[in-house]
Amino acid sequence: MSSPPAESVTPSPLPTSTPTGPGADTLSPLEQELLDEYARLVGNLNNLSSLLSSLATSPSAEILDQLRGLERKTALVFTLLKASVYSIVLQQQILGEGEGGV
């Protein structure tokens, strides 16, 4: 199944001045500042959404190569950890047999 192509979302310019419509005089400066912050947040979320949709539709070959390298390094670390644990367990068994037999 393939998903439909994502539409590119371009945020509209955000108003940064005080509103001039009805009820504009009833907002305190703090309320206006809060509304402006919400407007900026909406713009940032729209930008993030468009970026994430473009990343989700076509993963970069560079990212995939980096993930493969990370996977190899992780596998190596896991193998070394298993070998270290096995070595410690084996040493404890040898010491336990040596003390028990004396």
Same domain assignment for residues 51 and 14: yes
CA distances (Å), 94 to each of 10, 66, 80, 84, 85, in order? 68, 42, 21, 15, 14
pLDDT confidence tier of residue 87, bands split at 50, 70 and 90 = very high
Is 42 in contact with 10 (CB distance < 8 Å)? no
Q: How many domains does the chain have?
A: 2
- φ, ψ for residue 40, nearest 5 deg: -65, -40
Does the pTM exceed 0.75?
no
Instruction: For the chain, give the number of residues.
Output: 102
Same-domain check for residues 34 and 70: no
Residues 53 and 65 in one domain: no
pLDDT at residue number 61: 82
Structure tokens at 7: 């539409």
Do 53 and 70 share a structural domain? no
DSSP letters for 5-34: PPPPP-PPPPP-SPP-STTGGG--HHHHHH
Q: Is residue 1 part of a domain?
A: no
| Domain annotation covers residue 81 | yes
Verify that 52 and 83 share a domain, yes or no.
no
On whether both 19 and 36 belong to a single domain, the answer is yes
Tens-digit pLDDT profile for residues 31-58: 999 999 999 999 999 999 999 888 888 7
For 101, the domain range is 59-102
